[in-house]
Amino acid sequence: MSIFNSFKVKAIFLASLPVFSFDVYAESKKVESGADASVKAVATGGALVHVPDQGKGGALVHVPDQGKGGALVHVPDQGKGGALVHVPDQGKGGALVHVPDQGKGGALVHVPDQGKGGTLVPVTKGDGDADGAKAKLPLGVENLISTIENGMDIVALAQNQEALGNQIQANTDLVVSTGELVVGHGKVIEDIGHNISRHGNAIRTNAEDIDAGLDLMVGLEDRINSNGNSIRQNTADIVGNSKAIAANTERMNAFDNRVSGLESRVGKLDRKVDGFMAQSAAQANLVIPYTVGKTSVSLATGTSGRAVAFAVGAGRRFSDTFSARAGVAYDNMSRRVTAGAGVGFEF
């Protein structure tokens, strides 16, 4: 980057630079008049240094004087010369005057500083230069320019450092808030850990209960299988029993019929027995004659249960030792007639 372009870009930052205390000693090359010159500026005032214009215009560099000086702003010269604008320094500085160089070199501009400044010497083209484009700067001026450029770099670095500091502070705040969030999450995680521990104990208890339940289920399964076998056997037995029951039912029905017949016969027999007993009682009460040569006729009755019988009989005693008798009986239950006869000997 050329010296002129550096001054064009960086001149607006000069007001923020720190105050420099310096002595400038420089020796210029011979000018066209053959004269040598030196430059010296006092730290309490401000000094202007003219830079050759390379044939198109120059720029001035102002060094602040402890907060009381002014700043210079360079205006391009549009091919004919440069213009300087001076900012007064509270009545203690001077005014800047621009002298066009007509393409032949630079012009001297002096800033009075209340008797404490010095004189500035223009830098023109040297003996070995054709147009002054490569005129040599005084050593003090070069050091001054390097110091100013370094100061501006320091300002830029300071600004970058401030931006980095702000970013670091923002990152620090973010880390702090993140740490607080992590602490909150840590408490939540700790609570979750306690819950997991409690749930783990409950799960182990439930696992033991489940194991016991599984063992019980295994036993129940064995019992169910055994009961299943028993049920199947019982089902088969039921089928066999059903067949046996069906056969027995048929037999029982037959027995019922036979019993019914027997009951009917027993009923009839009962009536007959009652009748026969009633008839026997009636015939037993028929009178036997006691007189020899006499015949007797008698009527008798008898009862047994619900049966009533009547008997009619006749008898004759033929001798003292021989007699005969006959009788007929009837009852209302059997409704049958019985008859009987008998003889007897006495001796």
pLDDT greater than 80 at residue 338:
yes
pLDDT on residue 310: 96
pLDDT on residue 136: 54
Q: 15 or 120: whose pLDDT is higher?
A: 120
What does 18-87 look like in DSSP terms, one character per residue? PP--------PPP-TT---------TTS--EEEPP-TTT---EEE---TTSS--EEEE--TTT--EEEE-
182: tokens are 């992590």
- Beta-sheet strand order (sheet of 337-345): 295-304, 307-317, 322-331, 337-345
Are 26 and 38 within 8 A, CB to CB?
yes
Give the length of the chain.
347
- Quickly count: other Cβ atoms within 10 Å of residue 226's Cβ: 10
Domains of the chain are 1-137 (no CATH), 275-345 (3.30.1300.30)
Give 330's DSSP letter. E
User: What residues contact residue 127 under an 8 Å CB cut-off, 6+ apart?
Assistant: 29, 30
pLDDT greater than 50 at residue 128:
no
| pLDDT digits 0-9 by tens, 152-209 | 888 888 888 889 989 999 998 888 888 888 888 888 888 888 888 888 888 888 888 8
Question: What's at 171, amino acid-wise?
Answer: N
pLDDT on residue 156: 86
